[in-house]
């Protein structure tokens, strides 16, 4: 985190990255002093409603984050930026996108949790677009030009107002990670009242084990013996608001619909109370660790791995076989995971894997056979990328 005062004193001269969070209501002109070097600018968490018309003076800028600002529209000036590839305006109040607001070299566009009702028809001109996050908006249709987004690998359109599954997605040759739950065309959620339920006063939460977009996972212990469960369990308490992947309620529904599998963390019970939704799971043994790391700003949609990480060919094939079995299990239950990534996988020294994070999962049993086939093909493409990554780590 930087300060405006540092910028004014010249302490940040030559900086390639700048992060300012000072309740700014206007774009600080001092930022232009970094025009020849600034590549990453983060103005998230301020009170900005617009950007200057001459922003293109920042001619080296490739990444701009301005989330949690009260923008009403995506500034048109972005379309004039010569090197801007990554744009993040999450949780603003954006309602409109003009035909001129997006630079043609855009690779990564995050517009989650806004009020966008329509996308410009010329969005199809973004031939380099790989990641597009639109969950939590008011979209009713996708433009026909979507068929031209031949580089698109990850798409989040959950929690919108889409009346029908967008058949334009069927033609996209690289789409591998898709989330679409929480739209009017989707099937109603199953509350899974037949699955074992417990109350929040049945357990006590301890330290946080992990945090995702949809909630917190904590170690917990029962206050009294419960159904023969182990004393210690893990509990994921879901947030109520929309996430980058969709609604937490859809994540819980998909997770319980999938049911048990040896490569999934075992669900034990769930909490279904007016002010709390939570999932109780077996505690993962301490010897499991992350198989992969999330994509970087450079890799965009593809996972990264720690330096020196490797497997024998036999080990890699064993990991792949487990993921293949999981995908078959999902298909049998007509659920798309939507986020088949190594960074969502835990692995132990015996190379047994556990897949987690159902935030992007979507049920599709209600769709037409052709649409179901399309969704399975998209998920299988993610599986193919996972296989490539594992084989790429073979010693």
**Cα dihedral across residues 114, 119, 120, 124: positive or negative:** positive
Residue with tokens 């990255």: 17
CA 66 to the chain's CA centroid: 18
Per the annotation, where are the binding residues for ATP?
236
CA-nearest of 354, 359, 362 to 379 is: 362
> How far apart (Å, rounded) are the C-alpha atoms in residues 102 and 109?
9
392's enclosing H/E stretch is helix 369-392
> How far apart (Å, rounded) are the C-alpha atoms in residues 75 and 95?
11
> How far apart (Å, rounded) are the C-alpha atoms in residues 215 and 153?
25
Backbone angles phi, psi at 288, to 5 degrees: -85, 145
Contact 189/369 with Cβ under 8 angstroms?
Answer: no
Per the annotation, where are the binding residues?
236
Could you give the C-alpha distances from 303 to 208, 296, 339, in angstroms and in order? 25, 7, 11
Residue with tokens 């417990």: 198
Query: What letter does residue 33 receive in the DSSP assignment?
Result: G
> How far apart (Å, rounded) are the C-alpha atoms in residues 18 and 64?
10
């Amino acid at each position: 985190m930087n300060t405006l005062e540092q910028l004014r004193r010249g302490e940040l001269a030559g900086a390639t990255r700048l992060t300012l969070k000072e309740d700014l209501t206007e774009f600080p002109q001092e930022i232009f002093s970094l025009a020849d070097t600034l590549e990453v600018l983060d103005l998230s968490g301020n009170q900005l409603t617009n950007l200057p018309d001459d922003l293109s003076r920042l001619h080296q800028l490739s990444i701009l984050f301005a989330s949690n600002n009260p923008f009403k529209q995506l500034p048109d000036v972005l379309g004039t930026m010569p090197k801007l590839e990554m744009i993040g305006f999450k949780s603003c109040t954006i309602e409109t996108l003009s035909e001129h607001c997006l630079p043609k070299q855009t690779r990564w566009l995050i517009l989650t949790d806004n009020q966008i009702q329509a996308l410009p028809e010329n969005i199809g001109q973004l031939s380099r677009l790989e990641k597009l996050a639109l969950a939590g908006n008011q979209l009713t249709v996708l433009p026909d030009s979507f068929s031209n987004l031949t580089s698109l690998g990850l798409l989040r359109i959950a929690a919108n107002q889409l009346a029908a599954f967008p058949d334009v997605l069927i033609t996209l040759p690289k789409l591998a990670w898709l989330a679409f739950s929480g739209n009017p065309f989707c099937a109603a959620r199953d509350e899974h009242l037949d699955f074992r339920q417990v109350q929040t006063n049945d357990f006590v939460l301890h330290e946080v084990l992990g945090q995702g977009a949809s909630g917190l996972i904590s170690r917990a212990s029962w206050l009294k013996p419960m159904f023969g469960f182990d004393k210690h369990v893990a509990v994921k308490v879901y947030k109520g608001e929309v996430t980058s992947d969709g609604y937490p309620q859809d994540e819980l529904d998909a997770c319980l619909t999938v049911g048990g599998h040896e490569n999934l963390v075992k669900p034990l019970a769930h909490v279904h109370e007016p002010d709390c939704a939570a999932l109780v799971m077996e505690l993962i043994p301490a010897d499991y660790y992350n198989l992969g790391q999330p994509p970087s700003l450079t890799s965009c949609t593809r996972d990264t791995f720690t330096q020196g990480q490797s497997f024998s060919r036999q080990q890699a094939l064993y990991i792949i076989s487990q993921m293949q079995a999981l995908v078959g299990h999902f298909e049998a239950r007509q659920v798309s995971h939507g986020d088949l990534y190594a960074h969502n996988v835990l692995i132990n020294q015996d190379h047994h894997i556990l897949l987690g994070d159902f935030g992007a999962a979507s049920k599709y049993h209600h769709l037409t056979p052709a649409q179901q086939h399309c969704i399975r093909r998209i998920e299988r493409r993610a599986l193919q990328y996972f296989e490539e990554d594992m084989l790429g780590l073979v010693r």
